[in-house]
Amino acid sequence: MRLDNMLLAEGVSGPEKGGGSAAAAAAAAASGGATDNSIEHSDYRAKLTQIRQIYHTELEKYEQACNEFTTHVMNLLREQSRTRPISPKEIERMVSIIHRKFSSIQMQLKQSTCEAVMILRSRFLDARRKRRNFSKQATEILNEYFYSHLSNPYPSEEAKEELAKKCSITVSQVSFCFLPSSCRVCR
């Protein structure tokens, strides 16, 4: 219930099919409508729309898979009823088991979507309150490197020099960003 409320409040889910886009716009507007933040807010809204689309696509896939699997099990039970008696209660029990399993999968989808929204909020809406260590472009370059090298996020000396040039910062600043203790790249 809490996950549903959060998804509804953030405009990801709602009574209409594409989620609560009006709620999403209201949430973005409520978090500060200054014109200098309009680019960040449009980025936020675009990413929230992307999360909303992924959520609804995955939800439809789960519902379709649940329906297909339920139909398949019902057909199997009908076939088995030719060789042994199967009560309607047994059929109901099987269908409820299937629906419970798919409900738990949908719960996981809701949890991961809520986590994605919270990360998005902290990255965009809460970021304006924080002091920036580097320019937005430098942070984006460093984050891009980090996320594209997740298996080994620590750059070589040559890569550090290249990143320093791209970001217009020193090699030691790049090195500091990629220390294991601060390896979420210069938040």
DSSP 8-state code for residue 186:
-
Paired tokens of 122: 């902290």
Categorize the per-residue pLDDT at 34 as very low, low, confident or very high, splitting at 50, 70 and 90.
very low
Give dist(CA 47, CA 59) in Å, integer.
Answer: 18
Q: Which range has the worst mean pLDDT, 35-39, 58-62, 66-70, 173-177?
A: 35-39
- CB-CB contact of 18 with 51 (8 Å): no
pLDDT tens, position by position, 103-126 = 888 888 888 888 888 888 877 766
Mean pLDDT of 73-82: 89
- CB-CB contact of 39 with 137 (8 Å): no
Give dist(CA 54, CA 60) in Å, integer.
Answer: 10
Provide the pLDDT for residue 132.
66
pTM: 0.53
In the predicted model, is pLDDT for residue 67 greater than 90? yes
